[in-house]
């Protein structure tokens, strides 16, 4: 049924008003407290700073194993405040906690609790459970025997403690089991029945807040080591105000270029998509605020990828509309059929990436989880704006009288390109690049001892606390202090944090030798007149622990397997899934080779960069596979080689345009950004180019080879 002109005008006005309102909300907020303003979005340590707390063990010489275990458990604990919180070891018996997006150290300390010793004892003082026997403690709501809701605390025991606790409770029903923390009884539950499942429930909570507090104390008391706070500070952003401002400017310029490009290439539908993209930005900013998601550089990578996928969805739709007009359909019919035919490619590409984001969100930690949150949010919103908002806008414009074929365009006739004829050349080129990357990894290992230029997030380093004679701004630290430090370390991977309301600056570098520390002290005294007796330096561990690295690798593997299963299910052919995964591996290895050759610092953003490339690559591959699947039905008399070449040729314009728009967003970020931003943007640019190359030149050819060599048995 055709939309009436009045309805079209109404829809256009509603969408424009919604876009304007979200833009106003993001810029200014509502009410005296400016609720909803983009300024209220929680930013990570790299963008806005936060609270830094240092604990020291009461035991003088704790073992490395106990320290590692305590760091990991604290990391899990503080992720309740932010997925981007960092926990790392300082010296031999200190642990630093950095929580972004907060400014009240006392509130965090009170809520976090003082890490101390916890035991569950019998009435005569016998220790039944140690704090380390409790794997987790969480508040919950359940129904009592009368059917009423009650608040409880659920304790999950370790496998080692489960059986012994079951045996004890079976013979002590009716006895009390006091929970003692730092010598004080914090709860005194009664054994009501034998606890055999490794899960105990504490009832009698007066409120959910009380249950939260008790669960928090039990969790923090379950650490292997007893800790005491020795200092807490509010620290400034690691990147500085200049980095934030240039990044925002770059994002605005890149977004404007993308909108102009879409209008120029796709005319009226391009203008509709630009409005939808503006609405997308407003919704994303609002949801980041509403869900209190901490935004960091890896999170920005997730948003960039989702913007690229939003543009991609519109490009697929508009290309389909042009194809239908070229085939002789009316504009009205072409719009309807274009959206219908584009649906499967858009849904499959987005759901595949969404599956990966869900797995990474559940299983990942730190920056991986932050990336997954923003990516998942962006994918859902981008699908809504492309499939709903853009569709309503295009139909509204048509109903308002914008019906001329010239406003929508036609496809130019393109001769089918023989991509498969060049497959051997492409395969050889890819193999050479990948093998060359492994050679450089070996050369780096021989020269430096590491295959890549790992930053202090992976390797640890030295933290130097310097008290300057004046209160330096973050920009002054970047422009004046960092070059002095770099002249000593010969390494640009330097992190600085200003301690709020003091003249202190925390400088984190690679591990410095004694001579380098003395040289740094002398340089700081010579250039800034600092008192070297006030300079302190400690060796710090990596902020990305081995457990976090393991979790990241496992989550990526599981995400890849899930994507493979989904593609297999949707395309009914394991060869589609197999070639897609091989293409992902191809892109990751080539970008890894670039890291090795260019010696770019490998830190938190490395993981986000690789995940972005995986998401981008799989989406581009799905579009081509969707067209192959369609053409295998419509071109039954053609041979397989012709079908593959035709499918790649038909989607080539989409591949080029999508790669160009995404590349532009990142390229502007690279041109205008500070050095740390450039180290983040450059590999992304390489990955975008590589992803476009592999989707066009590798994936279809791989599938064709598998189809020919691995013949499906009857």
Q: Answer with the residue of higher pLDDT: 45 or 569.
A: 569
- Find out whether 535 and 465 touch, Cβ atoms under 8 Å: yes
CATH 3.30.450.20 fits domain 461-540: no
Would you state the pLDDT for residue 31?
Answer: 62
How confident is the model at residue 424, as a pLDDT? 92
Q: How far apart are CA 635 and CA 465, in angstroms?
A: 70
- Residues 6+ positions from 438 with CB-CB distance below 8 Å: 593
Is pLDDT at 522 greater than 60 in this prediction?
yes
Question: Of 219, 228, 204, which is closest to residue 57 (Cα–Cα)?
Answer: 228
**Mean pLDDT within 108-130:** 76
Note the pTM of the prediction, 2 decimals: 0.73
How many CB atoms sit inside 10 A of residue 263's CB?
A: 16
For residues 409 and 597, what is the distance between their CA atoms, to the nearest angstrom? 44
- Span of 11-15, 294-298, 507-511, 562-566 with lowest mean pLDDT: 294-298
Q: Please indicate whether residue 275 or residue 208 has the higher confidence score (pLDDT).
A: 275
Shared fold status for 50-103 and 461-540:
yes
First-to-last CA distance in the chain? 45
Residues 374/293, Cβ–Cβ less than 8 Å? yes
| Higher per-residue confidence, 206 vs 240 | 206
Least confident of 151-155, 224-228, 233-237: 233-237
pLDDT of residue 547: 65
User: E strands of 11-148, at which residues?
Assistant: 50-57, 86-90, 94-100, 118-121, 127-130, 134-143
CA dihedral of 123, 124, 125, 126, whole degrees rounded to 10: -100
- H helices, E strands: number in the chain: 22, 15
Q: Tell me if residue 607 falls in helix, strand or coil.
A: helix
Beta bridge partners of 127: 121
What was the pLDDT predicted at 713? 43
Report phi then psi at 136, rounded to 5.
-160, 155
What is the spatial distance between Cα 38 and Cα 24, in angstroms, rounded to a whole number?
10
| Chain centre to alpha carbon of residue 607 | 9
Residue 116: the pLDDT is: 62
Supply the Cα-derived Rg of the chain in whole angstroms: 29
For the domain made up of 118-222, give the CATH fold.
Gyrase A; domain 2 (3.30.1360)
How high does pLDDT run on average in the chain? 82
Q: So what's the pLDDT on residue 455?
A: 78
pLDDT digits (tens, 9 = 90+) for 636-687: 888 889 999 999 998 888 888 888 888 888 888 888 876 667 777 888 889 8
Q: Which pLDDT score, from 0 to 100, does residue 605 have?
A: 72
Per-residue pLDDT, 333? 92
Q: Return d(Cα 77, Cα 470) in angstroms, integer.
A: 36
pLDDT value for 47: 67
> How high is the pLDDT of residue 479?
79
Instruction: State the pLDDT at residue 275.
Output: 92
Residue 382 has pLDDT above 80, yes or no: yes
CB 654 within 8 A of CB 623: yes
Domain ranges of the chain: 50-103, 118-222, 420-437+545-709, 461-540
Instruction: Categorize the per-residue pLDDT at 621 as very low, low, confident or very high, splitting at 50, 70 and 90.
Output: confident
Range in 107-111, 529-533, 607-611, 689-693 the model is least confident about: 107-111
Q: Is the pLDDT of residue 240 over 60?
A: no
**Which of residues 342 and 231 earns the better pLDDT score?**
342
- The matching CATH number, chosen from 3.30.70.3400, 3.50.50.60, 3.90.600.10, 3.40.50.620, for 50-103 is 3.30.70.3400
| Other beta carbons within 10 Å of 564 | 18
* CB-CB contact of 324 with 338 (8 Å): yes
- For residue 246, give both structure tokens: 């240039």
Alpha helices, H only, 120-234: 159-170, 208-220
- Tell me the average pLDDT across 41-45: 68
pLDDT of residue 397: 92
State how far the Cα of 624 lies from the Cα of 618, in Å rounded to an integer: 10
pLDDT (mean) for 410-433: 89
Distance of CA 558 to the CA centre of its chain: 16
Tens of pLDDT along 178-198?
A: 988 877 888 888 888 888 888
d(CA 244, CA 227): 36
What pLDDT does residue 159 have?
86
What pLDDT shows up at residue 714?
35
Inter-residue contact 9 to 396 (CB < 8 Å): yes
> Mean pLDDT across the stretch 202-228?
79
Give the fold, CATH level 3, of 420-437+545-709.
Answer: Multidrug efflux transporter AcrB transmembrane fold (1.20.1640)
Q: CA 326 to CA 662: how far, in whole Å?
A: 27
Cβ-based neighbour number of residue 148 at 10 Å: 8
Ranges 22-31, 352-361, 620-629, most confident: 620-629
User: 498 forms bridges with which residues in the sheet?
Assistant: 505
Which tokens is 517 given?
């520390």
For residue 432, pLDDT beyond 90: yes
User: Which secondary structure element, helix H or strand E, spans residue 149, and what is its range?
Assistant: strand 149-157
pLDDT score of 462 more than 70: yes
């Amino acid at each position: 049924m055709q939309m009436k002109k009045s309805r079209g005008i109404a829809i256009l006005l509603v969408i424009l008003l919604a876009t304007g309102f979200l833009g106003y909300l993001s810029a200014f907020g509502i009410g005296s407290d400016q609720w909803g303003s983009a300024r209220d979005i929680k930013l990570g340590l790299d963008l806005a700073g936060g609270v830094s707390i240092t604990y020291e063990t009461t035991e003088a010489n704790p073992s490395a194993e106990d320290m590692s275990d305590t760091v990991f458990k604290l990391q899990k604990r503080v992720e309740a405040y932010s997925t981007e919180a960092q926990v790392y070891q300082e010296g031999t018996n200190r642990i630093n906690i950095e929580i972004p997006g907060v400014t009240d150290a006392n509130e965090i300390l009170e809520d976090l609790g003082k890490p101390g010793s916890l035991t569950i004892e019998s009435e005569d003082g016998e220790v039944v459970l140690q704090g380390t026997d409790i794997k987790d403690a969480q508040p919950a709501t359940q129904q009592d025997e009368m059917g009423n809701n009650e608040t409880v605390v659920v304790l999950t025991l370790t496998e080692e403690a489960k059986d012994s606790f079951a045996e004890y409770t079976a013979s002590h029903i009716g006895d009390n089991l006091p929970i003692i923390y730092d010598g004080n009884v914090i709860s005194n539950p009664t054994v009501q029945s034998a606890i055999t499942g490794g899960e105990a429930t504490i009832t009698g909570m007066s409120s959910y807040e009380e249950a939260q507090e008790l669960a928090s104390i039990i969790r923090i008391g379950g650490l292997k080591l007893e800790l005491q706070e020795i200092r807490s500070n509010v620290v400034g952003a690691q990147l500085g105000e200049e980095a934030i401002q240039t990044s925002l400017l770059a994002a605005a310029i890149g977004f404007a270029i993308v909108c102009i490009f879409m209008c120029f290439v796709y005319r009226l539908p391009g203008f509709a998509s630009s409005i939808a993209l503006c609405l997308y930005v407003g919704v994303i900013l609002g949801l980041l605020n509403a869900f209190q998601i901490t935004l960091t550089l890896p999170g920005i990578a997730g948003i960039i990828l989702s913007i690229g996928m939003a543009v991609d969805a519109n490009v697929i739709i508009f290309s389909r509309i042009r194809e239908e007009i070229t085939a002789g359909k009316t504009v009205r019919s072409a719009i309807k059929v274009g959206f219908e035919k584009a649906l499967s490619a858009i849904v499959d590409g987005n759901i595949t990436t969404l599956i990966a984001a869900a797995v990474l969100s559940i299983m990942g930690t730190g920056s991986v989880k932050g990336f997954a949150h923003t990516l998942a949010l962006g994918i859902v919103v981008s699908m809504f704006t492309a499939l709903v908002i853009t569709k309503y806008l295009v139909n509204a414009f048509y109903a308002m009288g914008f019906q001329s074929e010239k406003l929508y365009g036609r496809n130019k006739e393109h001769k089918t390109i023989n991509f498969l004829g060049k497959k051997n050349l492409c395969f050889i080129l890819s193999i050479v690049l990948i093998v060359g990357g492994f050679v450089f990894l070996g050369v780096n290992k021989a020269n430096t001892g590491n295959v890549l230029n790992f930053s202090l997030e992976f390797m640890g380093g030295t933290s130097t606390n310097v008290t300057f004679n004046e209160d330096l701004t973050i920009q002054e630290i970047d422009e004046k202090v960092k070059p002095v430090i770099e002249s000593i370390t010969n390494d640009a991977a330097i992190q600085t944090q200003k301690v709020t309301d003091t003249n202190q600056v925390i400088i984190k570098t690679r591990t410095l030798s004694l001579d380098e520390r003395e040289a740094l002290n002398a340089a700081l005294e010579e250039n800034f007149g600092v008192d070297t007796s006030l300079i302190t330096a400690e060796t710090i561990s990596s902020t990305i622990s081995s457990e976090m690295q393991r979790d990241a690798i496992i989550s990526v593997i599981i995400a890849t397997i899930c994507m493979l299963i989904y593609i297999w299910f949707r395309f009914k052919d394991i060869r589609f899934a197999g070639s897609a995964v091989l293409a992902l591996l191809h892109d990751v290895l080539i970008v890894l080779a670039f890291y090795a050759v260019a010696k770019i610092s490998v830190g938190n953003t490395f993981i986000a960069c690789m995940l972005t490339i995986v998401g981008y690559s799989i989406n581009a591959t799905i579009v081509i596979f969707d067209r192959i699947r369609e053409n295998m039905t419509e071109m039954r008399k053609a041979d397989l080689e012709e079908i593959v070449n035709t499918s790649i040729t038909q989607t080539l314009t989409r591949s080029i345009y999508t790669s160009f728009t995404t590349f532009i967003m990142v390229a502007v970020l690279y041109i205008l950004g500070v050095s740390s931003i450039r180290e983040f943007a450059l590999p992304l640019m390489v990955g975008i180019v590589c992803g476009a190359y592999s989707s066009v030149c590798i994936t279809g050819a791989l599938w064709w080879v598998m189809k020919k060599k691995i013949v499906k048995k009857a």
